[in-house]
Structure 1
Amino acid sequence: MQKYRTDTLKLNAIQQDTGEGLKGPTHVVYKDENINSVVSDDAKVDSGVSLLDRNGTNQDSRSHSFEEKGKVTETVIAKSNGRSQPRRVTDEKVREMKDQVIRAKAYLNFAPASSNSHLVKELRLRIKEIERAVGEATKDSDLSRSALQKMISMESVLAKAGRIYPDCCSMAIKLRAMTYNAEEQVRTQKNQASYLVQLAARTTSKGLHCLSMRLTADYFALQPEKRVLPNQQRIHDTKLYHFAVFSDNVLACSAVANSTISASLDPEKVVIHVVTDALNLPAITMWFLLNPPMQSTIEVKSIDDFEWLSSKYGSALRSQNSQDPRYTSQLNYLRFYLPEVFPALDKIVLLDHDVVVQRDLKALWSVGMKGKVIGVVQTCRESEPSFHRMDMLLNFSDPFITKRFSIKACTWAFGMNVFDLREWRLQNLTALYHQYLEADKKKPLFTGGSLPLGLATFYNRMVVLDRRWHVLGLGYESGVGRGEIERAAVIHYDGTMKPWLEIGIVKYKSYWNKHVKYDHPYLQQCNIHQ
């Protein structure tokens, strides 16, 4: 049983205010011993200050103050005659030597390309000497005793070069050109690094491909009657706790299922519905046949099994205009058809495949939805890495958007959401989603992905959950602290650096790794390691 299993979260919900005058809930500061307290207070007016205004007040506290140019603010205490005396540490010599190198390289650029004069040779020699002397030094005390003599030699050569090339205007032009070239190189390197990260995020790793192939081969080697997962009689039981995961990644599905079940206080009441595509259905099914969920129930279905989806909504699913396959995947937009995917259920929790569940989630079924459809964690605090504004995701330059939505409204995140499917059906929100989708075809109203359409479809239909239910930011360098992670019910690796990829952030991977069976023979044979 997990470390946090006994910390049952109790939850009150706060309703989303409507329209222009959106106010934020009163936020409660919880101490560690207070984890079993109420998760969220009722919405209250916070001295007439809007959420966006209030959340912007912490920006100054994150700014860094710097000493005047050329000074390092470190102070060293030197002991003399038994008394402590402060000695200021500087980096003046280090910076001066680096400046000498820059000036020397600028003079070299004045010389003809084929020049091999005595001055050119001496400049190159002094540059090498200074660069070796500086090395990794950050303060003057790091420099060797001979560094000062090398500085003097370099200054002598620079003075000689200054007499040969006295034109200061030409020197300034050359330095500006060097600066521009350096900036261009940095920009190119950043773009290349960003492209490679995006490429790595979209590519199936060799190990994961190997695992899927092994599992698929084993699945088709079974007799049809052996391909059925246990406890399938429970998949429509409304008295149980139902979770949905839409994914084509066998390892990710395994981690979500394992973490959800291990965190549950009543694992026999947990039902996990995995929806994938036809290509990955055999592999994911075979994984759970080899690794049955003990007392819990797992159902695996293919999106191709939903014949009504292609006949009624096929054109809508194919109309996504993003170049990113993560956003064009039909599985990503299947969330807008939940009532039809699960017609027998009234309530369900939808988990993205890049989350880890750390606490029992059954309290979500006790949330008073009060006519709302979706339970969300908001992302409108500017001080947090998951921060978004409405105008980042919706085109408020278009009257269609400005008439329907407030630019000051609080944003929220997909990843861990509870849905009242009965209320969804009553409000016919799938039809509303299609209206927005059709409007977006005529003119650009929403940025790529499912979140902007979700913000529009469920606008003013949300119940706001305490932030500890869903902590985001583990899929990029967000600075999320260990304490915040360990207090969370669900942690989310949103972003491109997923934990199953080599580019995943090491300090966050351990929370995911403990739910993956790395000792399984198939993972070892496919070289999938921590």
Structure 2
Amino acid sequence: MKGYIAASSPPAKRRWKGHAVAVLALVFFSLLVPLAFLLGLHNRFPSGYLSDERSSSESVFENYARVDAGLEQSQSEVGESRVHDLIDRFKPAIPKDVPENFTKKPLIESSYAGMQSTSHPKDALPYSKPKNITHGGPPKEQVVAPKVPSSLNARNDGGDQKEIRSKSAAGDEMERPCQLEFGSYCIWSMEHKETMKDSIVKRLKDQLFVARAYYPSIAKLQGQEKLSRELKQNIQEHERMLSEAILDADLPSFVGKKIQKMDHTIAIAKSCAVDCNNVDKKLRQILDLTEDEAHFHMKQSSFLYHLGVQTMPRSLHCLSMRLTVEYFKTSLQDIEQLHAQKLNNPSFRHYVLFSRNVLAASVTINSAVMNAEKSGQMIFHLVTDGQNFYAMKHWFARNSYKEATVRVLNFDNLKLINVYNLGPRQLSPSEEFRVSIRDIAQSSPMQMRTEYISVFGHSHFLVPEIFKSLKKVIVLDDDVVVQQDLSSLWNLDLEGKVNGAVQFCGIRLGQLKTYMRGYNYNGNSCAWMSGLNIIDLERWRDRNITGNYLGLLQKFQNGSEASWRASALPISLLAFQELIYALDDTWVQSRLGHDYGVSADAIKNAAALHYNGNMKPWLELGIPKYKSYWKKFLTKEERFMDECNVNP
């Protein structure tokens, strides 16, 4: 009996030790799993951005699929043998067409306790991590691999998840997700993608572009005569359709079949062994032609824009012609003869305008009269050219402006050329100059700023000679709308200066040195603006401003029309140097002819509005939100305006 017990004891003892080792191993490994997560080893799990260039020295989360009590292999040896199997099983299915650098972007790790979640970048591929890893047991080998996304999954903006989809036209290549290096613009462009207008026409043009590139190479191949004829026929059919259609609605009903036929032909052409250099050369030629055509259209658009700005609209031309004809058909009472004693009386308040636009001049005069406290004291001297003289005369004879007097003068009949041989040979209202300067306030050294400066034209320098008996006048431009009473300007002390004007310190004379041709001037002085100016004619005559103007004119113009007009800017700035009295900025709010950002409060508080710039309120190009201030003073129920369809 003793021998039996002694003989059977060792196996029972060995079995007990084997189970104890297995239990201890399970406990050890169950503690090792959460410890690995706490130490950050879970970072080695593969995820949406995997790299095939991982270092062999990187430690990974080991896979303990079996625990054998009789296995005496060490923990490190098990990890070394299982690491590559684990990576292969956990690696998601990355699309083959994803660029290499797309797969190398790092994940943004969250700082959540336990490190149990990984926050992906905004445009990262979605990836589901294994959910069946439990403490104390082997992890199951189920991995949910992401599907190849056909569109970019949404971001969470303010709690609302949007699905961003890219809708491509027929025949486009497979969609690709946004790449991280493009940043938020890629996502923004997909969120704000607009439906392409006339997409079928654009599709036809694209097919024609590719077909023309392949045709020369296909035509040279031996045995491809049929394909060459088919490609040429498709090109001709596309050209015929595009010559008759600009919009999708203009295309024939069979256009879909033509597109499919061209797609099929292009696919066959691409499969042929052609010389890539020939195709590349042809594509470059077509690209050059397209760029030249785009450049031509840009120049044409710019020319037509300036032509539209500088040319009188057809409706205003009609109005001027109808008024001229009506002047000779009817005989209206001449207001100037009734008020002849006022016209040269310096005790009245005299306003001077130089204009060729009857509608613009009438709005300026009407706005000044409607906002004046004593309109009976106002005398308006409207100087125009011979072409518009009779239209102006008839208009202001037909329409009254309270108690104000409007006198129309023909500049061609003033005969000032005999007195000033170098004086202007034609009417020259205020001149506007578009000046582009480098803005030192901007961080970019190439940032340019464009401003519009309005200065006196050549005709303004003859005002003291035209109105010899007057002592002080207010000069208005015809693109000005008056909103307040201007009577306080007449009592303003100019402190010995000649010209009271609003200064524009956005441009200083030092920035215009290329226009000054080396003349002495203070570079820190601000430019000044015409539009609303109070002129002391007595001091003008004492200072001989007109004589100085004629001397400068000799040096700045070379006899051509362009140089004569361009010389107005430096001459005006130099002739009135140190003779400008700076008016308060609230007198005039400018920039309404080119700046969309003028605030409503600034417009409301200004005594006068100046529409300097290309977009005048009487043009279709005018800025719509500023037009109402100008239209308010249009003459209502005028027969000739209705007949000529004048509706600014």
Shorter chain as denominator, the TM-score bin is: 0.5 to 0.7
For residues 432 and 601 of structure 2, the distance between their equivalents in structure 1, rounded to whole angstroms, comes to 34
SS of residue paired to 2:379: strand
Q: Which of 458, 475, 480 is the aligned partner of 2:576?
A: 458
The partner residue of 2:548 within 424, 428, 432 is 432
Which has the larger Rg?
Answer: 2
Match in the other structure for 1:475: 593
2:515 to 382, 395, 408: 395
Single out whichever of 198-207 and 341-350 deviates more from structure 2: 198-207
Structure-2 change in CA distance of 1:511 and 1:280 (3 Å): same
In the TM superposition, residue 237 of structure 1 has moved relative to its aligned partner by 3.8
Q: Deviations over 1:275-318 (max 9, x none)?
A: 112343332122122111112222222223423x1211244313
Is 1:271–2:389 an aligned residue pair? no
Paired residues of 1:380 and 1:389 also in contact (CA < 8 A): no
Identity of aligned residues (%): 30
In 2, distance between residues paired with 1:325 and 1:403? Answer: 22
Task: For 1:285 and 1:443, locate their aligned partners in 2 and report how far apart those are by CA, in whole Å.
Answer: 33
2:363 corresponds in structure 1 to 255
Q: Which residue is 1:306 aligned to?
A: 414
Contact 2:320 2:358 in 1 (8 A): yes
For 2:529, what is the secondary structure of its paired residue? coil
- Report deviation, 1:393: 7.8
> What's the secondary structure of 1:292's corresponding residue?
coil
Deviation at 1:245, TM superposition (A): 0.6
Deviations 1:394-428 (A, max 9, x none): 535xxxx3241345543232222222222211111
Partner of residue 633, structure 2: 515
Secondary structure, in 3 states, of the residue corresponding to 2:420?
helix
Q: How does 1:66-105 map to 2 (within 5 A)?
A: 84-87=159-162, 89=164, 105=209
Q: Please report how far the alpha carbon of residue 389 of structure 1 lies from its aligned counterpart in structure 2 after TM superposition.
A: 6.4
Partner of residue 349, structure 1:
474
Q: Deviations over 1:404-458 (max 9, x none)?
A: 1345543232222222222211111111111110112469998716333211211
In structure 2, which of residues 612, 615, 619 is the aligned counterpart of residue 494 of structure 1? Answer: 612
**Which secondary structure state, in structure 1, belongs to the residue aligned with residue 302 of structure 2?**
helix
Aligned counterpart for 1:293 among listed residues 391, 398, 401:
401
Where does residue 51 of structure 1 map in the other structure?
Answer: none
Structure 1 counterpart of 2:299, one-letter code: N
Judged with a 3 Å threshold, the aligned counterparts in structure 2 of structure 1 residues 186 and 104 are, in CA distance, closer, same or farther, namely closer
Contact 1:229 1:299 in 2 (8 A): no
Q: Which of 364-373 and 167-176 deviates more?
A: 167-176
Structure 2 match to 1:194? 302
- By relative contact order (CA 8 Å, sep 6+), the higher-ranking structure is 1
How many residues align? The count is 421
1:421 has 2:549 as partner? no
Aligned pair partner of 2:423 in 316, 335, 357 = 316
Give me the whole-angstrom Cα distance separating, in 2, the residues matched to 1:205 and 1:190: 23
Q: What residue identity is the alignment partner of 2:364?
A: V
Aligned to 1:38: none
CA distance in 2, matches of 1:159, 1:165: 12
Match of 2:323 among 201, 215, 236: 215
Q: CA deviation at 1:250?
A: 1.6
What letter is aligned with 2:500? G
Change (3 A) 1:431 1:174: same
Q: Measured at CA, do residues 353 and 120 of structure 1 come closer, stay the same or move farther in structure 2, by a change above 3 Å?
A: same
Distance 1:76 1:234 in 2: 77
CA RMSD of aligned residues (A): 4.7
Contact in 2 for aligned 1:518/1:529 (Cα 8 Å): no
Judging changes above 3 Å, is the alpha-carbon distance between structure 1 residues 311 and 431 closer, same or farther for their aligned structure 2 residues? same
2:91 paired residue number: none
Output the amino acid matched with 2:515.
N
In the alignment, the residues of structure 2 paired with residue 278 and residue 269 of structure 1 have an alpha-carbon distance, to the nearest angstrom, of 28
Relative to structure 1, is the Cα distance of residues 88 and 510 closer, same or farther in structure 2, using a 3 angstrom cutoff?
same
Letter in 2 for 1:182: T
Distance 1:320 1:189, change over 3 A: farther
Aligned partner letter, 1:429: I
Q: Which structure 2 residues correspond to residues 380-391 of structure 1 after superposition, within 5 A?
A: 380-381=505-506
* Residue aligning to 2:214: 110
The CA deviation at 1:220 is: 3.7
Other-structure match for 2:179: none
- 2:624 pairs with 1:506: yes
Structure 1 contact 518–528 (Cα < 8 Å) conserved? no
SS of residue paired to 1:404:
coil
In the TM superposition, residue 514 of structure 1 has moved relative to its aligned partner by: 2.0
* Residue 179 of structure 1, CA deviation: 3.8
Deviation at 1:256, TM superposition (A): 0.9
SS of equivalent residue, structure 1 residue 281: helix
| Residue matched to 1:282 | 390
Q: Which runs of 5+ in 2 are unaligned?
A: 1-121, 124-151, 174-198, 220-226, 239-246, 249-260, 434-455
CA 362–167 in structure 1, closer or farther in 2 if over 3 Å, else same:
farther
Paired with 2:274 and 2:584, the residues of 1 have a C-alpha distance of 68
Alignment of 1:19-168 (within 5 A): 84-87=159-162, 89=164, 105-106=209-210, 108-112=212-216, 116=228, 163-164=271-272
Q: TM-score, normalised by structure 1?
A: 0.65
